[in-house]
Amino acid sequence: MLSEKMEKSLNKQVNAELYSSYLYLSMSAYFSEINLNGFAHWMRLQAQEELSHAMKIYDYVNERGGRPLLEGIDAPPKLWGSPAEVFENVLSHEQKVTGMINDLVDLAIELKDHATNNFLQWFVSEQVEEEASANEVLQKVKMTGNQSGGLFMLNQEFGKRIFSPDSE
Ligand code: FEO
């Protein structure tokens, strides 16, 4: 059984992951609008991945006899100044999420909730990958200098991204 405090904090994280999904979907819409459909595809998969993160925590709360409580999701931004600015936003957002996951681990340790600590370790590793991947993409996008030739090539590359449930 989850403690009330742990349950509340996990539910907050479900909301944060749903917000991440919303944010990336908004970025996908932005890329579609500026005709970078490969970028839009990449972001749409990212939104899907975030939804799977939310569901992972949702299922865990249920499994431990808790009650997932769904709160309102904040509206994400709609516009960015350039593709590079979008990925700066992705990286800073993922860094923020890493901080939230670390706070949850700290709480699980404080409450001696070993099961939740163990459950959260998947997210600790996932955040290392998320930050590395956001940074890699950001560097590639920056290298184009916002020139259409480079963006076109990246657009082709990002359009080939495949959703892999194993790396959710
Ligand atoms: Fe669910 Fe991108 O962290």
Residue minimizing CA distance to atom 1 of ligand 1: 50
Mean predicted confidence (pLDDT) in 95-104: 98
Q: What pTM does this model have?
A: 0.95
- What is the percent of the chain with per-residue pLDDT over 70, rounded to a whole number? 98
**End-to-end distance of the chain based on CA atoms, in angstroms?**
26
pLDDT digits (tens, 9 = 90+) for 136-164: 999 999 999 999 999 999 999 999 998 87
Predicted confidence at residue 125, as pLDDT, reads 98
Does ligand 1 have an atom closer than 6 angstroms to the CB of 17?
Answer: yes
Predicted confidence at residue 72, as pLDDT, reads 98
> Is it the case that residue 42 has pLDDT exceeding 70?
yes
Does ligand 1 have an atom closer than 6 angstroms to the CB of 50?
Answer: yes
Name 20's Cβ contacts closer than 8 Å, sequence gap at least 6: 47, 50, 53, 93, 97
Ligand 1 centroid–CA 149 distance in Å is: 30
CATH number of 4-158: 1.20.1260.10
Mean predicted confidence (pLDDT) in 78-89: 97
Mean predicted confidence (pLDDT) in 123-133: 97
